[in-house]
Amino acid sequence: MKSTAVLKFARISPRKVRLVADVIRGQDVAEAVEILKFTRKRSAPILNRLIWSAVNNAKEKKSTTDVDKLFVQQILVDGGPTLRRWIPRAHGRATRIRKRTSHITVVLDERE
């Protein structure tokens, strides 16, 4: 049985989240959480919370769910809206700074 958790408008670039998401895709939940615990990236705690949210959603949906059989079937990291800011530069010019956001979706499923 599939269980999902979605985080929208996370204030981190999708490219940075995908670096960590690629590492834990396909792993068992326990192994993914262990990997994230020792990953020194800003997106690691965000993905850790999202995985636990998906685990709790699975428990709510079906109380007989075995957490040890759950694995990360899919992680989607899409770009959200970009906040545009300006910074002054030399000779009266201005340069745009793009502060990117992410929409992250985690799908867990049970192994047979």
Which residue, among 54, 46, 60, has the nearest Cα to 74 in the 3D structure?
54
Answer whether 100's CB lies under 8 Å from 62's CB: no
- Give which of 29, 4, 1, 7 is closest to 101, Cα–Cα: 7
pLDDT computed for residue 63 by the predictor: 80
CATH of domain 3-110: 3.90.470.10
Q: Residue 1 has what pLDDT? A: 78
Q: What share of the chain is helix, strand, coil (3-state, %, to 5)?
A: 40, 35, 25
- pTM of the predicted protein model: 0.91
| Whole-number pLDDT of residue 93 | 97
Per the document, the length of the chain is 112
pLDDT value of residue 98: 97
Domains of the chain by residue range: 3-110
Crossing angle of the two packed helices 14-24 and 43-61, in degrees rounded to 10: 60
Question: What are the phi and psi torsion angles at 50 (to 5°)?
Answer: -70, -40
| pLDDT at position 50 | 97
Q: What is the pLDDT of residue 31?
A: 96
Tell me what the mean pLDDT of segment 6-18 comes to.
97
- Please compute Rg for the chain using Cα positions: 17
